[in-house]
Amino acid sequence: MYKAILALDTSHELISLALGSGKETWYLEIDAGQRHSELLMEAVDSLCKLSNFDKSTLDLVCCMEGPGSFTGLRISYASAKGIALSLGIPLAAVPSLDCMAAHLSSFPGIVAAVMDAKQNRFFCSLNKNGRQEGEILDADYSTILHKLESAGSFQPENIILTGPGAKLLYMQFMEKNSTIKNIILDPQYKQGRARELLELVKNDTINKIKDPGSGPLYIRKSDAEINRESGREKR
């Protein structure tokens, strides 16, 4: 049983941190924009001061596994690995979309956790009764619409969109007069999810502990990788 856990979430523009020690939990959230690398460790130190906690007594550090921002995921994963190696403690990682859907596990219907994957596509997972249904999608609006229609084919179900890409997808549903009408936007869609990450790790760490040499889960190649490969093919 881990007594002191630090959770890092930089999967999108927010820095979200949670520190759990015993029955106490402290939380800090910063709108970092593109400054994750500058602000993350400063934010960790601030959270430790706020909670009067000695970082050297941590038992476990955890982060988002992905998908998410390529840069953000790398920064939190590298920082978590650095803390884990320096203190000699385990590192745990949890799929990002699991964390984003966790606070809606009791929602009576389908929870779609959504991140903007750019190029008119979304990373999306569909969840019901706290469990993910099917694979993580890297898909456009039409594909997600079809998946939602199929998921609710036997009975009309309420659908809630959450996660940092939720509003963008929701606007597409509204603009295109989707056949699905029972869809709502989570008022807390954009919030960081370090607290949820912390709770998921506390409740089940066995399958989340990672090898020190592991890295983030990327659903697709970064634009830089695609551009490099395209440049090689043209030569």
CATH number at residue 153: 3.30.420
Q: For the segment 157-183, what is each residue's pLDDT rounded down to a tens digit?
A: 799 999 999 999 999 999 987 778 889
| Same-domain status, 14 and 77 | yes
Cα 186 to chain center, whole Å? 15
Name which residue leads in pLDDT, 157 or 203.
203
- The arithmetic mean of pLDDT across residues 142-159, rounded, is 79
Residues 109 and 223 in one domain: no
| Total number of domains in the chain | 2
Q: Is the pLDDT of residue 228 over 60?
A: no
Q: How far is it, in rounded angstroms, from Cα 111 to Cα 186? A: 10
Inside any domain, residue 235: no
- Whole-angstrom Cα distance, residue 161 to residue 111? 6
Residue 159 lies in a domain: yes
Distances (CA, A) of 129 to 109, 126, 137, 170, 225: 8, 10, 19, 21, 37
- When comparing pLDDT for 156 and 180, which is higher? 180
In a domain, 163, yes or no: yes
Nearest to 85 by CA among 217, 218, 216, 210: 210
Domain that holds residue 135: 104-185
Query: What average pLDDT does this structure show over 31-53?
Result: 92
Mean pLDDT of the chain: 88
Strand, helix or coil for residue 11: coil
Token pair for residue 22? 């015993």
Calpha distance 51→45 (Å, rounded) = 10
| Domain end (from 169, 185, 201) | 185
Residues 109 and 143 in one domain: yes
Range from 73-77, 109-113, 178-182 carrying the lowest mean pLDDT: 178-182
CA distance 218 to 215: 9
The verdict on residue 224 lying in a domain is yes
For residue 112, being part of any structural domain is answered with yes
pLDDT at residue 198 is higher than 90: yes
| Separation of alpha carbons 105 and 131, rounded Å | 8
Give a yes or no: residue 140 inside a domain.
yes
This prediction has a pTM of 0.88
pLDDT band at 70 (very low <50, low <70, confident <90, very high): confident
Residues 212, 166, single domain; the answer is no
The SS3 assignment for 128 reads strand
Question: 81 and 19: one domain?
Answer: yes
pLDDT of 199 above 90 = yes
d(CA 98, CA 127): 9
> Does residue 24 sit in the same domain as residue 59?
yes
pLDDT exceeds 80 at position 24: yes
Q: Which helix H or strand E contains 6, and what residues bound it?
A: strand 4-9
Task: Please give the distance of CA 177 from its chain centroid, rounded to a whole number.
Answer: 29
219 in Cβ contact with 68 (< 8 Å)? no
31 and 49 in a single domain? The answer is: yes
Would you state the pLDDT for residue 149?
84
CATH number, domain containing residue 9? 3.30.420.40
Share of the chain above pLDDT 70, in %: 90
Q: Are residues 112 and 173 in the same domain?
A: yes
In a domain, 69, yes or no: yes
Residue 165: what residue type? Answer: G
Is residue 156 a part of any domain in this protein? Answer: yes
Residues 170 and 114 occupy one common structural domain = yes
pLDDT at 234 over 80: no
Across 65-92, average pLDDT: 92
